[in-house]
Amino acid sequence: MAPDDLYNETQPDVSQKAADCRRRSERCHQAILTAAAELLEEKGYGGVSVEAIASRAGVGKQTIYRWWACKASVVMEAYAKQVNQNLPLPDTGCVKTDLGDMLGQLAVVLGTTSAGSALAGLIAEAQTDPHVAQEFRHQMIACRRAAAQTLLQRGIDRGELRPDLDLDLAIDALCGPIWYRLLLRHTPLDREFAIALIDQLMAGITA
């Protein structure tokens, strides 16, 4: 037997072991996110703990803390994925219709699913925890603001909206009432509200 053949027979397949480890990590990661989403659906944000997530996922707490700093971080990743999957960016060729579709879908998700109560809990926690606040802005707010900016810029480019439109201010005006109603729950958060909101605001930003 040649020396090279002997070396190949006696050395472990390092690349295969690394691939197996990655697959196990990916399965474990997904199991934790799935467990977090299921528990939130059953118990609400306040009723979920890292211990409960670990037990449901069949992992140790230290496995969770290896990837996430706290319960809020797990919840944000689970719901960021769910919200982004359920809220595709519309492109109908009409800025008013696009905004109505985007905000209408967001209102339905936040008003009729467990995502709403989970995000309300995260917002409350963010008021006293700077790390949670930073993660919330990064994972939950930034992507929604970027989507709204894309729709508004399309409207400007097509001549539907004023060319001097302050995009940041317009986004605050469009999305702020959604979060306000989510937190106060004084009246329903639904598609009808989102469409009425768009109708009210478009008068001030159309060309």
pLDDT for 149-187, tens place per residue?
999 999 999 999 999 999 999 999 999 999 999 999 999
Amino acid at 121: G
pLDDT for 5-58, tens place per residue?
544 555 556 666 666 667 778 899 999 999 998 998 888 888 899 999 999 999
Task: Identify the CATH assignment for 76-205 out of 1.10.357.10, 2.40.30.10, 1.10.1780.10, 3.40.50.10490.
Answer: 1.10.357.10
- What's the CATH fold of domain 3-67? Arc Repressor Mutant, subunit A (1.10.10)
Domain ranges of the chain: 3-67, 76-205
- The three-point CA angle 118-119-123 to 5° equals 120
Q: How confident is the model at residue 114 (pLDDT cuts 50, 70, 90)?
A: confident
Phi, psi of 77 (to 5 degrees): -65, -40
Confirm if 103 and 174 have CB atoms less than 8 A apart.
yes
